[in-house]
Amino acid sequence: MTVSIAHLGPSGTYAEAAALAYAQSLTQNTGEDTMLCPCSSISQTLWTVSKGDANIGVVPVENSIEGSVTVTLDTLWQIGSLQIQQALILPINHALISPAQNFADIQVVYSHPQGLAQCQGWLEKYLPDVPLIAKNSTTEALDHVRDETHTAVISSLRAAELYQLPVLAYPINDYPDNCTRFWVVSLQPSGPGKYTSLGFSVPANVPGALAKPLTIFAERGINLSRIESRPSKRSLGDYLFFMDLEADSHDQSVQSALAELRSFTETLKIFGSYTLLNLN
């Protein structure tokens, strides 16, 4: 069987680079053939997998500078049935790609909001007052840039090579240790693995509503590596909480913590246990 892997497209995105690295490790470990399926957005990537139109999806979840990719958390919560199979960490170095002769000729810069945000200091210094336009991915505008000599795109060196476009500046990310964590998701049960991710809503906004869920893990010596709140979208001030635990949900102590957590939450969704792969 050929394993289909959905990712944010078009070709050349960081998500595609992460998907390619995952595909390679899958083929090495299982001998299975893989096929990449580019999608028009991060949410479409997740919906494609949830509908069974691809076997696996690779989506960005957190950047070391910009924090959470909130659309990933919101869509995973909304879908509810996807399980995390693996986390991948990809170093990210951005290039300014443009047919322009110099910075003074650039009148507009396109990229994914994460790309624009990760280079904001550089943009303020070298391209002040140039309009920044958000796109669904870092590569979405690359096809048009070739004929528009006054435009530039923030994307990877790999993308510049794929689209055969010149690199005007590299690296332009504000912090050298910029990296993004991706999740590999599917409809298959996950785990075992060293990390577990979950999300929950609390029954009421009362004192201690979050303290109790935190205590459950503290009492068992289970470390939390991330906690993130997102608007529930039901009413202003009502939140969902997303947590990453440094523990395997298949362990007895984690099972008992999750059972206890369920009694203090309104809805609890366990997104699975997984291991971490560093891509260098």
Ligand X SMILES: O=C(O)C(=O)Cc1ccccc1
Quote the least distance from Cβ 129 to ligand X, whole Å: 23
Site for ligand X in 195-224 (CB under 6 A): none
Single out the residue of 14, 77, 183, 241 in contact with ligand X (rule: CB under 6 A).
14
Tokens of 173: 């990310």
Applying CB under 6 A, does 180 fall inside the site for ligand X?
Answer: yes
Applying CB under 6 A, does 97 fall inside the site for ligand X?
Answer: no
Single out the residue of 10, 57, 85, 112 in contact with ligand X (rule: CB under 6 A).
112
Which residue has the closest beta carbon to ligand X?
A: 13
Site for ligand X in 49-68 (CB under 6 A): 60, 63
The interface mask with ligand X, positions 230-269, x = CB under 6 A, is: ----------------------------------------
Cα separation, 88 vs 183, whole angstroms? 6
Single out the residue of 48, 85, 138, 197 in contact with ligand X (rule: CB under 6 A).
138
Nearer to ligand X, 14 or 183 (CB): 14
Applying CB under 6 A, does 44 fall inside the site for ligand X?
Answer: no
Quote the least distance from Cβ 137 to ligand X, whole Å: 4
Stretch that binds ligand X, among 13-21, 144-152, 227-235, 245-253 (CB under 6 A): 13-21
Per-residue exposure over 47-78, b if at least 16 CB sit within 10 Å of its own CB, e if not = bbbbeeebbbbbbbbbbebbebbebbbbbbbe
Quote the least distance from Cβ 177 to ligand X, whole Å: 14
Name the pairing type of β-strands 2-8 and 56-63. parallel
Single out the residue of 5, 9, 10, 15 in contact with ligand X (rule: CB under 6 A).
15
Nearer to ligand X, 118 or 249 (CB): 118
Applying CB under 6 A, does 96 fall inside the site for ligand X?
Answer: no
| Contacting positions for ligand X (CB under 6 A) | 8, 13-15, 60, 63, 92, 112, 114-115, 137-138, 180
